[in-house]
């Protein structure tokens, strides 16, 4: 037996022969040594190597230390694009700017005198395209990618034997019409949320039913029952994805790598359970098709409060996470809450943005998680670790303090392989967003976005980047409004209201608990101490419970509250008059004034000095559905473009709003581009019409090209192609996706963007709401049948007219060339090139009409031929290239004598 003797060194590993491995003395010495090493690690400055490892100099040989160091390392890492890919891209951008300068120098100095109107029109269009390209291109100057470390997140916040320290997350699911948004799809989204790989006590799911439909309520009740079986099954076998519809639809052999007979047996049983669940949901949908004359009644015989969709009280029902409801294995389940805000005639409800703000207030009263996740009812969680991915940024001790939201790319199911109408939008999500991430972050808070609650409340980022005396409401320096606002703010109004209340936080919480039912009226003795409370009420509304929650940066509800009192307060904060005379929708929450509230809300957050992050995990975090037929796709683009026009015509337009507020110039470029792009529809349609006009009249927008001009034109075309190729290279986008994006840019610009521009002008300037209705027609059955489904809409007329005009122009131009001989073919090629450019870009549009029947709908043919005929007749009548003085006589040069 080896005897323990006094130590000869501080390292017990070196004295193993003296202490004896495993003896009590050796273990005590080992614990003492680890403690000293831990103290040393807290003091010594760590050095970060290129590979991300941290070393304090001499402890890398200890097997315990790497685990401790790993928990102190950054939770994410920024990966710049390789210089071999990005530097040529930047160089070609600069070269293209130079070539554009030479191009416009030549074009402006060489007008076409015999076709001055066409030449001037083309110059104006080309200048607009160049400016639009600059606004779109330069925000991509610093593209980055990011890498997360989920193991480090667990080591830091999920220590063995201790409760999880991960931050809580409130998840919002919004739905309106259960007939247009099937309850089964919403149920799958909710089930994927409840089964997410995250501590159950840290997750709360709030479903907003803005249509107050009993069908949605009953479907959610069925979903909560099925979740008691589905959630433990997912976590037991670590399934992906955790939406049952998409899990069981996978074409994989689940028996190949799963040899456990228990899994096979339970999977088959769960599939039977899910099929029965679908039958129950579909039965509810079938029953909802016929509404009783007296309206729906609940199980207790009382009328359903939401029978009148436009006039009903607020409703809240907690399905899971209370009253000891557990899953079939006895484990706790995440909270599931049904919310339908109050609606009354005469009140403005602000559509989806108002519903989301109601969810913010309800969740703050009930659970008050410091972070929120927003998903549409058809976007399920495809990666069960998506919340952990977001927390790698949000909970990073250093970089996470200034991040207001983490945006994930949108990925879609059910789209045809060729993606005819660019539904995947890969160029935007994999190229544009990576570029923005290198500047200040993504520009919108769309579906699949995890954001900080404090940033949504309108608070400034921790480190203020704007000069003293300015607020994010400040206008440009040259504007007199800016001077007045600075003068007004200099008296102290611009001071952060949260800092004013910092010292009163404890007393406010106590006051809230004591006066939940009574409110704040009638407390004359505390009038002076409640003055800041009045300022809070003007900002957040008259709910002391909610105001108290806004002061808790780490979330949570005040201790001592009861469920009954919180639910009563939750009903109060979703009342239709709660937002009156407050800053909700102006400076707090989702911002009103546009149907694209996600862009406007993100813009306001960035104006407060926050930055955002774009995260692309290897397994897509979220997946959803997208409209794949032509009409629905155009109406989706119409809605986005209309929202941009509304922002452009509002006071929040990034061209003149938010200067001196920490918004970086390139980020402002991207926001400006996001609101002005519908204006491109006017020059685009004019430019697509010019080739046909040139072919019909025999004129051209370019004079006879010299050698110098040929070089400039060729250099411009090469630079355009090179820019696209290099973008595809560093963005990882295929040429098919890039080309489909280019085609739909023309299709959408000639249709949806044009209608959005006029509709926005009518709505903002004249107060006229114009709706473009869609009438459905029967589609074919089978896979991707919706792709061939045709729906009549007026959006289809302008592109079809462009197609017919260009086809007629080609026929006329070729006929004239045949009649005029060989010499006329040379000038014809340039005109044919531009006309074919238009037709090739509109080819998916033409194919959408053909469908499987290979024939055009009669209504489209009639409208397009009618417009093309009117245009041709008007052109013949007012041809500007025909001399107004009659026939021009010229001297032939022959001596007749």
The residues that are catalytic are 210, 598
**How long, in residues, is the chain?**
897
Burial class (CB in 10 A: 0-12, 13-18, 19+), 25: middle
CA distances from 140 to 131, 398, 433, 798, 823 (A): 15, 26, 8, 32, 46
Q: CA nearest 642: which of 766, 760, 761, 762?
A: 760
Q: Is 210 annotated as a binding residue?
A: yes
| C-beta atoms surrounding 338 within 10 Å | 19
Residue with tokens 């469920």: 563
DSSP string for residues in 413-452: ES--TT-TT--S-HHIIIIIHHHHHTTT--S---SSEEEE
Strands 144-148 and 335-340: unpaired
The span from the CA of 821 to the CA of 238, in Å, is 74
Query: Is 180 annotated as contributing to ligand binding?
Result: yes
Using CA atoms, how far apart are residues 655 and 671, in angstroms rounded to an integer? Answer: 8
Query: In Å, how far from its chain's centre is CA 162?
Result: 36
- Could you tell me how far CA 17 lies from the centroid of its own chain? 63
Is 351 within any annotated ligand binding site? Answer: yes
DSSP assignments along 235-267, one per residue: HHHT-SS--HHHHHT--S-TTTS---HHHHHHH
Q: Give the alpha-carbon dihedral of 80, 84, 85, 89, to 10 degrees.
A: 110
Task: Tell whether 385 is in a known binding site.
Answer: no
Provide φ and ψ at 698, rounded to 5°: 80, 5
The Cα–Cα gap between 836 and 692 comes to: 10
Q: Which of 532, 537, 544, 539 is nearest to 584 (CA)?
A: 539
Q: Which helix (H) or strand (E) holds 374?
A: strand 371-376
Count Cβ neighbours within 10 Å for each residue of 560-597 and write b for 16 or more, e otherwise. Answer: ebeeeebbebbbbbbbbebbeebebbbbbbbbbbbbbb
Number of other CB atoms surrounding residue 95 within 10 Å: 15
Tokens 């108290």 identify what position?
Answer: 548
- Asked whether 738 and 427 are in contact (CB, 8 A), the reply is yes
DSSP state of 204: E
Instruction: Copy the structure tokens of residue 68.
Output: 């401790």
The annotation status of 544 as a binding-site residue, yes or no, is no
Q: Provide the strand spans (E) within 23-109.
A: 47-48, 54-55, 76-80
- Cα 646 off chain centre by: 18
Which tokens hold the place of 13? 């590993």
- Per-position b or e across 682-692, b if 16+ CB within 10 A of its CB: bbbbbbbbbbb
Residue 263, Cα to own-chain centre: how many angstroms?
A: 37
Is residue 781 exposed (0-12), middle (13-18) or buried (19+ Cβ within 10 Å)?
Answer: exposed
Phi, psi of 68 (to 5 degrees): -70, -40
Is residue 174 marked as binding? yes
The CB density around residue 179, as the number of other CB atoms within 10 Å, is 12
Burial class (CB in 10 A: 0-12, 13-18, 19+), 6: exposed
CB 848 within 8 A of CB 779: no
Which segments within 45-153 are labelled E, that is strand? 47-48, 54-55, 76-80, 144-148
Q: Is 376 flagged in the annotation as binding? A: yes
For residue 214, the Cα-to-chain-centroid distance in whole angstroms is 30
Binding-site residues for Mn(2+) sit at: 352, 376
Binding-site residues sit at: 174, 180-181, 210, 351-352, 376
Binding-site residues for UDP-alpha-D-glucose sit at: 174, 180-181, 210, 351
């Amino acid at each position: 037996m080896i005897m323990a003797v006094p130590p000869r060194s501080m390292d017990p590993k070196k004295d193993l022969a003296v202490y004896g491995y495993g003896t009590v003395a050796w273990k005590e010495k080992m614990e003492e040594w680890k403690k000293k090493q831990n103290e040393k690690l807290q003091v010594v400055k760590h050095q970060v190597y290129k590979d991300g490892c941290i070393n304090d100099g001499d402890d890398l040989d200890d097997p315990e230390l790497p685990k401790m160091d790993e928990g102190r390392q950054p939770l994410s890492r920024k990966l710049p694009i390789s210089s071999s890919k990005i530097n040529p891209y930047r160089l070609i951008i600069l070269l293209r700017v130079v070539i554009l300068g030479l191009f416009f120098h030549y074009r402006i100095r060489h007008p076409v005198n015999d076709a001055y109107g066409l030449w001037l029109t083309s110059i104006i269009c080309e200048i607009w395209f160049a400016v639009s390209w600059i606004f779109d291109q330069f925000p991509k100057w610093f593209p980055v990618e990011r890498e997360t470390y989920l193991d480090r997140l667990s080591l830091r916040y999920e220590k063995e034997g201790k409760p999880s320290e991960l931050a809580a997350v409130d998840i919002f699911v919004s739905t309106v019409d259960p007939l247009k948004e099937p309850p089964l799809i919403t149920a799958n989204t909710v089930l994927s949320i409840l089964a997410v790989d995250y501590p159950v006590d840290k997750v709360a799911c709030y479903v907003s039913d803005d249509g107050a439909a009993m069908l949605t309520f009953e479907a959610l009740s069925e979903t909560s029952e099925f979740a008691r079986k589905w959630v433990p099954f997912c976590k037991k076998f670590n399934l992906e994805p955790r939406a049952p519809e998409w899990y069981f639809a996978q074409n994989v052999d689940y028996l190949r790598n799963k040899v456990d007979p228990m899994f096979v047996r339970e999977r088959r049983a769960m599939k039977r359970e899910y099929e029965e669940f679908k039958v129950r949901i579909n039965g509810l949908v079938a029953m909802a098709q016929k509404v009783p004359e007296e309206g729906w009644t609940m199980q207790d015989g009382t009328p359903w409060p939401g029978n009148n969709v436009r006039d009903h009280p607020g409703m809240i029902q907690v399905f899971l996470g209370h009253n000891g409801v557990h899953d079939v294995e006895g484990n706790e389940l995440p909270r599931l809450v049904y919310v339908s805000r109050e609606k009354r005639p005469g009140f403005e409800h602000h559509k989806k943005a108002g519903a989301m703000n109601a969810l913010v207030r309800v969740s703050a009263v009930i659970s008050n998680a410091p972070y929120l996740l927003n998903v549409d009812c058809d976007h399920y969680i495809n990666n069960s670790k998506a919340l952990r991915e977001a927390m790698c940024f949000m909970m990073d001790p250093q970089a996470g303090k200034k991040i207001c939201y983490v945006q994930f790319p949108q990925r879609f199911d059910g789209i045809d392989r060729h993606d005819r109408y660019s539904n995947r939008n890969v160029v935007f999500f994999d190229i544009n967003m990576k570029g923005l991430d290198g500047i200040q972050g993504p520009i919108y808070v769309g579906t699949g976005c995890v954001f900080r609650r404090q940033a949504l409340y309108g608070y400034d980022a921790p480190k203020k980047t704007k000069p003293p005396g300015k607020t994010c409401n400040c206008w440009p320096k040259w504007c007199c409004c800016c001077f007045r606002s600075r003068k007004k703010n200099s008296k102290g109004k611009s001071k952060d209201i949260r800092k004013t209340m910092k010292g009163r936080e404890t007393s406010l919480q106590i006051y809230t608990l004591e006066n939940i039912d009574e409110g704040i009226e009638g407390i004359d003795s505390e009038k002076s101490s409640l003055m800041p409370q009045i300022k809070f009420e003007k900002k957040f509304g008259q709910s002391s419970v909610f105001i108290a929650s806004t002061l808790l940066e780490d979330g949570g509800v005040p201790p001592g509250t009861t469920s009954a009192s919180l639910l009563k307060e939750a009903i109060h904060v979703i009342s239709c008059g709660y937002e009156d005379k407050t800053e909700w929708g102006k400076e707090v929450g989702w911002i009103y004034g546009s149907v694209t509230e996600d862009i406007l809300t993100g813009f306001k957050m960035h104006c407060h000095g926050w930055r955002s992050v774009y995260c692309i995990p290897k397994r897509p975090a979220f997946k959803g559905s997208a409209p794949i037929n032509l009409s629905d796709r155009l109406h989706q683009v119409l809605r986005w473009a209309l929202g941009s026009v509304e922002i452009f015509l509002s006071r929040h337009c990034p061209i003149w709003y938010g200067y001196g507020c920490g918004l970086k110039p390139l980020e402002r470029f991207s926001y400006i581009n996001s609101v002005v792009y519908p204006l491109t529809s006017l020059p685009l349609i004019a430019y697509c019409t010019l080739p046909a006009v040139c072919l019909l009249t025999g004129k051209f927008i370019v004079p006879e090209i010299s050698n110098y001009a040929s070089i400039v034109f060729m250099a411009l075309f090469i630079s355009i192609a090179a820019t696209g190729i290099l973008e595809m290279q560093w963005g990882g986008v295929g040429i098919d996706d890039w080309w489909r994006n280019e085609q739909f840019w023309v299709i959408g610009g000639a249709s949806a963007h044009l209608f959005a521009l006029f509709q926005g002008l009518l709505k903002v300037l004249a107060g006229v709401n114009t709706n473009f209705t869609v009438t459905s027609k029967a589609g074919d059955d089978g896979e991707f049948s919706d792709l061939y489904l045709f729906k009549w809409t007026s959006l289809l007329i302008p592109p079809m007219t462009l197609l017919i005009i260009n086809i007629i122009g080609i026929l006329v131009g070729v006929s004239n060339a045949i009649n005029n001989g060989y010499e006329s073919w040379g000038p014809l090629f340039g005109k044919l090139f531009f006309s074919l450019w238009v037709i090739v870009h509109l080819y998916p549009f033409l194919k959408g009409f053909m469908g499987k029947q290979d024939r055009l709908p009669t209504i489209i043919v009639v409208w397009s031929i009618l417009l093309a005929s009117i245009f041709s007749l008007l052109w013949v009548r007012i041809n500007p290239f025909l001399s107004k003085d009659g026939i021009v006589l010229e001297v032939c040069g022959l001596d007749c004598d």
